[in-house]
Homo-oligomer: A and B are copies of this chain.
């Protein structure tokens, strides 16, 4: 069983310092221009090392709260004027934060593959919901029938028949997508990376939802980009008034959004907002990277449209994959990159070249068999039921003051615990009890969502999961 390691402990202490100083600033005890407490003073007061205080101060400097003056110490800044409910934070360059995020990430991914941990952490759908037999049959057939060609390269943009099948999927949305528009990638993760490479440069500002999927934040951090976190409604997604405000006041180079069943909130952006978003980016001539990996997993009657449907300027780059619906391990994603198609293709060729020929062929054959649509119907029903059961069980076992989302698709639940409950504490104590969840703070570069956790409902409901949620409730209440 993993327990909090020293880096995490350090993280706790360091956050205690940040919170303390932010408290002084927000209460007005410390005003703009005031000198912050000295390192030694705060070290003694909070019983943490001087190094930890130093790290926390550097982070606050990085966040624009403090400034360092040589030979003098740290001082409180004039806060930059901000749009309401929108915060600008750098996600880059501050070493301790990066390292700590990295370790947490690694732990989360390692846990995801550990059969001894109840898997409520990673947003990975259980393989028992996948069409294992049908896909393996398609795979074996493709391998035997096309042995030589599956051993050979299938250079970008990828398998022509697969691209045709992917393009056809957009017919249900009333969109006309050409196979030439489709570039096959190694999952949606690579698609997002290629899009960011194509439309941004180190130091650029990009607008993202808050909260945002932590892997996106990690990617942004690695690439040296700055994230403006746009406040996001748990029902309707990114707030367009806030976005508009930011677009008018900052030099935003791209927007990254998950309009359909956002991770972690499950928010679904209404069609009128999608239309407005398409207008907004046209007005500002800004590319929008749209992550649609959950789009097929809707609970209501209709497949929600992608923003690209309303984009008449080629400004939307829509990324998706079969990782949430068919086979994460096959690594088949794609991007419809609009006017950035050639640029994305060149990045693809230069950085990873071909995607595995065999898994491309197998997915293509499986799609052509017509089984996929039937499988999706079953899978949507399964996720809807799992999410319902999870909501019911959380409501029953978690303490008063707990709130949660009511997603209309996807398979994650965003849970707000009573104020004062620390998600990292819950994360560690759950892990000791053999349960994984995802701590809320990693869904924002600004460390908001300290009393939030994300619970994945990707696995079939079981007594074990029910017990685990009950145990989680006890941990949160304790």
- Residues of chain A at the chain B interface (Cβ within 8 Å): 102, 105-106, 109-110, 112-113, 124, 127-128, 130, 132-133, 135-136, 139-140, 143-144, 147-156, 186-187, 189-190, 193, 197, 201-202, 215, 218-219, 222, 323, 327-331, 342, 345-347, 349-359
Shortest Cβ distance from A311 into chain B, in angstroms? Answer: 25
Shortest Cβ distance from A260 into chain B, in angstroms? Answer: 21
Assuming A105-B349, A190-B352, is B127 touching A329 (CB within 8 A)? Answer: no
Contact B354–A151 (Cβ < 8 Å):
no
Assuming A189-B353, A350-B219, A352-B186, is B109 touching A155 (CB within 8 A)? Answer: yes
CB < 8 Å: which of B112, B143, B197, B346 contacts A136? B143
Contact B353–A187 (Cβ < 8 Å):
yes
Q: How far is the CA of A399 from the CA of B352 in the complex (A)?
A: 39
Contact A139–B135 (Cβ < 8 Å):
no
Shortest Cβ distance from A49 into chain B, in angstroms? Answer: 23
Q: Which residues of B contact A327 (CB under 8 A)?
A: 151
Q: How far is the CA of A124 from the CA of B155 in the complex (A)?
A: 12
Assuming A147-B132, A186-B186, A358-B139, is B352 touching A153 (CB within 8 A)? Answer: no
Q: Which residues of B contact A136 (CB under 8 A)?
A: 143-144, 147, 150-151
Q: Which residues of B contact A186 (CB under 8 A)?
A: 186, 331, 352-353, 355-356
CB < 8 Å: which of B106, B127, B329, B355 contacts A354? B329
Contact A154–B351 (Cβ < 8 Å):
no
A-B contact pairs, 23 of them (CB 8 A): A102-B346, A105-B349, A106-B349, A109-B155, A109-B156, A110-B155, A112-B153, A113-B152, A127-B148, A128-B148, A139-B143, A140-B140, A151-B327, A154-B329, A187-B352, A189-B351, A193-B351, A197-B222, A222-B351, A329-B356, A331-B356, A352-B352, A358-B358
Q: Which residues of B contact A150 (CB under 8 A)?
A: 136, 329
Contact B112–A155 (Cβ < 8 Å):
yes
Contact A352–B222 (Cβ < 8 Å):
no
Contact B151–A346 (Cβ < 8 Å):
no
* Interface residues of chain A: helix, strand, loop or mixed (majority): helix
Q: How many copies altogether?
A: 2
Contact B347–A222 (Cβ < 8 Å):
yes
Contact B354–A331 (Cβ < 8 Å):
yes
Shortest Cβ distance from A334 into chain B, in angstroms? Answer: 14
- With A127-B148, A153-B323, A329-B358 already in contact, 4 other A-B pairs whose C-beta atoms are closer than 8 Å: A112-B155, A132-B147, A136-B144, A140-B143
Contact A140–B144 (Cβ < 8 Å):
yes
Q: Which residues of B contact A155 (CB under 8 A)?
A: 109-110, 112-113
Q: Which residues of B contact A331 (CB under 8 A)?
A: 186, 354-356
Q: How far is the CA of A265 from the CA of B3 in the complex (A)?
A: 53
Contact A354–B187 (Cβ < 8 Å):
yes
Shortest Cβ distance from A116 into chain B, in angstroms? Answer: 16
Q: Which residues of B contact A154 (CB under 8 A)?
A: 113, 329
Shortest Cβ distance from A270 into chain B, in angstroms? Answer: 31
Shortest Cβ distance from A130 into chain B, in angstroms? Answer: 5
Assuming A147-B132, A330-B151, is B356 touching A222 (CB within 8 A)? Answer: no
Q: Which residues of B contact A130 (CB under 8 A)?
A: 151
Contact A328–B350 (Cβ < 8 Å):
no
Q: Which residues of B contact A219 (CB under 8 A)?
A: 350-351
Most buried by B among A144, A190, A350: A350
Shortest Cβ distance from A282 into chain B, in angstroms? Answer: 25
Shortest Cβ distance from A202 into chain B, in angstroms? Answer: 6
Q: How far is the CA of A273 from the CA of B419 in the complex (A)?
A: 64
Shortest Cβ distance from A375 into chain B, in angstroms? Answer: 12
Q: Which residues of B contact A342 (CB under 8 A)?
A: 102
Shortest Cβ distance from A469 into chain B, in angstroms? Answer: 23
Q: How far is the CA of A218 from the CA of B351 in the complex (A)?
A: 9
Q: How far is the CA of A351 from the CA of B147 in the complex (A)?
A: 30
Assuming A102-B346, A328-B153, is B109 touching A189 (CB within 8 A)? Answer: no
Smallest CB gap from A108: residue in B: B155
Shortest Cβ distance from A162 into chain B, in angstroms? Answer: 13
Q: How far is the CA of A189 from the CA of B334 in the complex (A)?
A: 19
